[in-house]
Amino acid sequence: MADLQYPEGRHPGWPVRLGPLAVAAGTLELRPPRLRDGGTWSSTRSRDRVHLERWEPTAYGQSWDERNSLLAWPPQWAALRSLGRRGLALPFMIVVDGRLAGQVTVGSIQRGALRSGWVGYWVASDLTRGGVATGAVALVVDHCFGPARLHRLEATVRPENEASLRVLDKLGFRREGLYERYLDVGGTWRDHVSLALTEEETGPGLVARLVQRGLARIP
């Protein structure tokens, strides 16, 4: 299926800021990536190598340090900005109390009769268990099923990644099956759990659900 490409700056739902949303770790907002994010992005990911590398796809030809160096950020930022402006992705930086704390991205966006994409995210290690990932994914899902005009979101997670599975289960993502030997992680083909959510399943919205359950509040 061919993607519907949008003129520069006219992709529905991007660029935009989402939030604020108060969670246990602090006040959460999502915003588009900036070129000046490079220093904090690189230092956070370099510090959190043990926390992140075991879950992320193998980058052949690049070490972790090379892939996450300060010099690696400008081309990544340019690629994310291009995908966002062309309507192929919704890339966001996660900010907590003004500090860059991770990323959440909706990628491989398809339009037409499908209107779907996948969602992926990472959060700094010192902010895990603070509701940051849950709040960030809730904000982006509500945005996808609203202004961005998508209908379905998918996520794939290794069965061993219990923390990420808890985030998606808490938000109502359905487990649809197991993709065997789906993605190369750490040089080995790894199984991944397939999860999905459609617009009809979100009711008043995922943020509203979190607020109702006392897991977040709108400042």
Domain containing residue 117: CATH number = 3.40.630.30
pLDDT tens, residue by residue, 113-124: 999 999 999 999
Classify residue 105: in a domain, yes or no. yes
pLDDT above 70 (res 19): yes
pLDDT tens, residue by residue, 206-217: 999 999 999 999
Classify residue 30: in a domain, yes or no. yes
160-184 burial code (b ≥16 CB/10 A, e <16): eeeebbebbebbebeeeeeeeeeee
157 burial level (CB within 10 Å; 0-12, 13-18, 19+): buried
Count structural domains, the chain. 1
Cβ-based neighbours of 23, under 8 Å, separated by 6 or more:
130, 131, 132, 134, 135, 215, 216
pLDDT above 50 (res 1): no
- What is the average pLDDT value for the chain, to the nearest integer? 93
pLDDT tens, residue by residue, 46-81: 999 999 999 999 887 789 999 999 999 999 999 999
Q: State percent of the chain over pLDDT 90.
A: 88
Overall average pLDDT of the 143-169 stretch: 96
Overall average pLDDT of the 154-162 stretch: 96
Classify residue 129: in a domain, yes or no. yes
Considering the entire predicted model, what is its pTM? Answer: 0.93
Cβ-based neighbours of 59, under 8 Å, separated by 6 or more:
67
Classify residue 66: in a domain, yes or no. yes
Domain extent at residue 88: 18-150+204-212
